[in-house]
Amino acid sequence: GNSVTQMEGPVTLSEEAFLTINCTYTATGYPSLFWYVQYPGEGLQLLLKATKADDKGSNKGFEATYRKETTSFHLEKGSVQVSDSAVYFCALSFTGGGNKLTFGTGTQLKVEL
Amino acid sequence: GAVVSQHPSRVICKSGTSVKIECRSLDFQATTMFWYRQFPKKSLMLMATSNEGSKATYEQGVEKDKFLINHASLTLSTLTVTSAHPEDSSFYICSALPLAGGQGQDTQYFGPGTRLTVL
């Protein structure tokens, strides 16, 4: 079956540090890949997505590249802010599979001054 | 665009009562909506897929008689937790998939969640 593996958290960084959150997936075929962010007490917000190999999704300074060779979709940001503190979820879905999302376990990011 | 709302945002009820949670897509139509449950510090667990005008499809292990889902229009799905018990306390989140052919049709847009506490 399909699965998504994320690095365990929490990840604690100082403001302006470089962020990488690793995400790898296992799937039959070529899924669409997503990063969602959840701020405390809120639902999930779509952060970025990529629908085919070598696509780069980007938003709010975050970016991730769909790597078919390594089945990865790592999230990066060059300079994090305290306001980026949240839980980040990597996910995949197939349009032909009813668009059901398969989520990773989430990675909590804490950014300190 | 692509805003999904949930109501209520939090609810406290007594054991044995039923609670209805609404999920609305505010600025787009959605033939498919999804209901998730999230436990503290855990990922989201898909409970069911709700299709407008038809019966919901439940994931394995989810009691369909306990978690009643109705998707009566292209902008509204409801989840009713019947005869709620303390173990049903959780954070319930819905998402909506834009109508086929629309922009972002492969992307689920999530509601802000409903915190249910059963005493």
Residue-wise pLDDT for A46-94, tens only, equals: 999 999 999 999 999 999 999 999 999 999 999 999 999 999 999 999 8
Residues of chain A neighbouring B105 (CB-CB closer than 8 A):
95
For residues A17 and B31, which has the higher predicted lDDT (pLDDT)?
A17
Residue A108: list chain B partners with CB under 8 A.
41
Residues 6 or more apart in contact with residue B21 via CB below 8 angstroms: B6, B7, B8, B11, B78, B79, B80, B81, B92, B94, B114, B116
Residue in the structure block whose two tokens are 């249910």: B116
Q: A88 to chain B: nearest residue by CA?
A: B43
Q: Taking residues B50-60, report their average pLDDT.
A: 90
